[in-house]
Every structure is written in structure tokens, then in C-alpha cells.
């Protein structure tokens, strides 16, 4: 009876712990319906158009242009960038490529996906995709693992023929992330997310002072104001804490069950009855 009650308690605890873990493994929630979808793209890292995850950004451009967007990615997320380029009715064979850079402008390798594709002559469109590695909360300085912060997407045609330069094209991109959860947790975190900023100059410090000479803290200037819903993760909590606690409880219950099975009724078997 005691063993059955202990096993029931263990199964109940395991079920309660599996709930948050299952929720963490689901794709990130879509932004609110009133989120404005960008209709332009930047031409450099500094002018990259910000786009929320789950929102489809569009842009009209000319073949040969470099198109830039930026999006936020937090720890324990695995972002996937998808792009579609609609081509004119008449064009030669074209190769298009999508590249993703982190907040330090390091090019990140695609874990899988068609990062470069060639559109045959007369093809109406070409589709690209790039799934990054899971974003880590912390890594060694020599490692190029993805870190929390702003990420940049660059879309362009490579090896374009002269006859196709300047032809009108339209592009759209969308970024979605899968929350990996505690399976990607590491022991450590960045003090701040890698969001590009602008250094405070002496003039900015002078402007930040009151007329009476008392100093005020200058406002921090950032190139990217977009961040994940709920802000950047502090990264001290993950569902691996739940599974660690569940494992400890199961180990304790297994010890109690083993003791209950082996301890007997407390009476030596070699004693005669009545003693």
C-alpha cells in the first residue's frame, strides 16, 4: 500500500513537471495583431529595418541591392529565417543568398535550410531558409556560438548578370523561433544582451548637464530598440531545474520503496514462535 501511494505521488509530480516543459518546447507566441509589418528594408547594418518575430516584413527593391533586416533572439531560442523573392516575368538565371549575423556582426552558420538557391530563367520566385543553432546564454570568448541580442538578416543576389541589374524585385522575410528550454541551458549568462549601441560623446555628456552645472546621467543611445516579449531573459531559471527536482524526488522515493521491500517485519526468522 505504501509503495503504491509512493508511486502515485511520483507520477503526479512527474505530470505536473511535464506541463511547463511542454509549454517551453512550443514555438514562441506570435506578436499582437496590431504589430506593424515593415514594408521597407535597410541597405546596411546601421540602417537595418527592425522586425518582430512572427511578423512578415516586405520590401520592394532592385536586383543587385543589399537588403537588411534585424530581429531579437533570446537565450534558448532556435531562430529560423525564411525569405521569398518574387522575380520579374523576364530574367536570366539568378542565385539568391540569405546571411544571418549576430550582434557582434559575426556571420552565423545555418544548421539546416536552403541558404542559397538558384532561380531558373523565367521562374516567378525563389524561397530561402536558414535555421540557426540554439542561442546560448553564455559562451567562451573564442567560440562563435549565437548569443542573445540583435540579429541581422542580409538578402541579396550573387553572381548577378549585367542584364538583370536593376530589375524590380519584391522580397518578404519572416522569423520564427522554437523555444528549446532547459536542454540548451548553460551555467552562465551575459550581463547584457548584444544590442548595438552608440557611444556617449563629450558633447552628449555636456548636454546631459543642468544649467546650474549639476551632472545628469546621459541617456543611452541604441541602434536597435526592439526586444523579445517580456524583455531579455535573466536566464537564471529554466525547466532543467524542474527536471532536476523531479529526479531527486524519484531517487528519494526509490530509496524509500527499496527499504520498505527489504526491511521485512522486523522479527528474526530463526526464532521459535512465542519468543
Do 21 and 33 fall within a single domain? no
State residue 207's pLDDT score. Answer: 52
**Highest-confidence segment of 182-191, 210-219, 248-257:** 248-257
Query: Is residue 134 assigned to a domain?
Result: yes
Q: Are residues 103 and 224 in the same domain?
A: yes
User: 59 in a domain, yes or no?
Assistant: yes
Q: What is the pLDDT of residue 1?
A: 46
Residue 59: pLDDT above 90?
Answer: yes
Structure confidence at residue 180 (pLDDT): 81
Using pLDDT thresholds of 50, 70 and 90, give the confidence band for residue 141.
confident
- Residue at 227 is within a domain: yes
Question: What is the arithmetic mean of pLDDT over 142-168?
Answer: 91
The mean pLDDT of 6-28, rounded to a whole number, is: 45
What is the residue range of 72's domain? Answer: 29-179+194-231
Over 60: is that where the pLDDT of 11 sits? no
* CA-wise closest residue to 30 among 176, 129, 152, 151: 176
Q: Is the pLDDT of residue 226 over 90?
A: no
Assessment of whether the complete model's pTM goes beyond 0.75: no
Instruction: Verify that 2 and 60 share a domain, yes or no.
Output: no
Average pLDDT of every residue of the chain: 76
Q: Does residue 36 sit in the same domain as residue 124?
A: yes
273: its cell numbers: 514462535
Helix axes 2-24 and 239-262, enclosed angle (nearest 10):
170
> Do 101 and 55 sit in the same domain of this protein?
yes
Average pLDDT over residues 109-119: 93
Is 107 inside a domain boundary?
yes
Do both 2 and 52 map to the same domain?
no
Q: Return the CATH number at 150.
A: 2.60.120.380
* Mean pLDDT calculated for residue range 193-209: 57
pLDDT at 171: 97
Phi, psi (deg, nearest 5) at residue 153: -115, 130
Same domain, 149 and 115: yes
| Contact present, 226 and 173 (Cβ < 8 Å) | no
**Residue 184 domain-assigned?**
no
CA-to-CA distance for 156 and 163, rounded, in angstroms?
Answer: 16
> Which neighbouring-strand residues pair with 60?
170
List pLDDT tens digits, range 73-94.
Answer: 998 899 999 999 999 998 999 9
Q: Read off φ and ψ for residue 144, nearest 5 degrees.
A: -105, 30
Min mean pLDDT across 7-11, 56-60, 74-78 is at 7-11
Domain count along the chain: 2
Give residue 232's pLDDT. Answer: 72
Say if 273 falls within a structural domain.
no
- 44 and 84: one domain? yes
Question: Is residue 265 pLDDT above 70, yes or no?
Answer: no
For residue 222, pLDDT over 60 is answered with no
Q: What confidence score (pLDDT) does residue 86 get?
A: 96
User: In terms of domains, do 129 and 256 share one?
Assistant: no
In a domain, 185, yes or no: no
Amino acid at each position: 500500500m505504501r509503495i503504491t501511494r509512493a508511486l502515485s505521488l511520483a507520477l503526479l509530480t512527474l505530470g505536473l513537471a511535464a506541463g511547463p516543459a511542454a509549454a517551453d518546447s512550443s514555438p514562441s507566441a506570435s506578436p499582437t495583431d496590431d504589430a506593424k509589418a515593415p514594408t521597407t528594408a535597410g541597405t546596411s547594418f546601421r540602417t537595418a529595418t527592425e522586425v518582430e518575430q512572427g511578423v512578415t516584413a516586405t520590401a520592394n527593391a532592385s536586383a543587385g541591392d543589399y537588403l537588411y533586416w534585424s530581429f531579437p533572439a533570446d537565450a534558448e531560442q532556435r531562430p529560423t529565417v525564411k525569405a521569398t523573392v518574387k522575380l520579374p516575368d523576364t530574367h536570366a538565371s539568378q542565385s539568391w543568398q540569405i546571411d544571418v549575423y549576430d550582434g557582434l556582426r559575426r556571420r552565423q552558420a545555418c544548421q539546416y535550410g536552403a541558404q542559397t538557391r538558384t532561380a531558373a530563367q523565367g521562374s516567378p520566385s525563389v524561397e530561402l531558409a536558414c535555421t540557426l543553432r540554439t542561442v546560448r546564454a553564455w559562451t567562451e570568448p573564442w567560440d562563435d556560438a549565437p548569443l542573445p541580442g540583435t540579429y541581422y538578416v542580409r538578402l541579396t543576389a550573387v553572381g548577378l548578370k549585367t542584364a538583370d541589374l536593376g530589375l524590380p524585385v519584391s522580397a518578404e522575410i519572416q522569423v520564427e523561433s522554437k523555444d528549446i528550454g532547459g536542454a540548451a541551458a548553460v551555467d552562465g549568462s551575459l550581463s547584457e544582451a548584444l544590442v548595438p549601441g552608440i557611444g556617449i560623446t563629450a558633447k552628449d555628456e555636456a548636454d546631459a548637464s543642468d544649467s546650474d552645472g549639476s551632472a545628469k546621467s546621459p541617456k543611452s543611445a541604441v541602434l536597435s530598440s526592439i526586444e523579445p516579449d517580456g524583455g531579455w531573459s535573466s536566464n537564471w531559471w529554466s525547466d532543467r531545474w524542474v527536471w532536476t527536482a523531479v529526479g531527486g524526488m524519484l531517487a528519494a522515493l526509490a530509496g524509500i520503496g527499496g527499504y520498505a521491500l527489504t526491511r521485512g517485519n522486523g522479527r528474526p526468522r530463526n526464532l521459535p514462535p512465542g519468543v
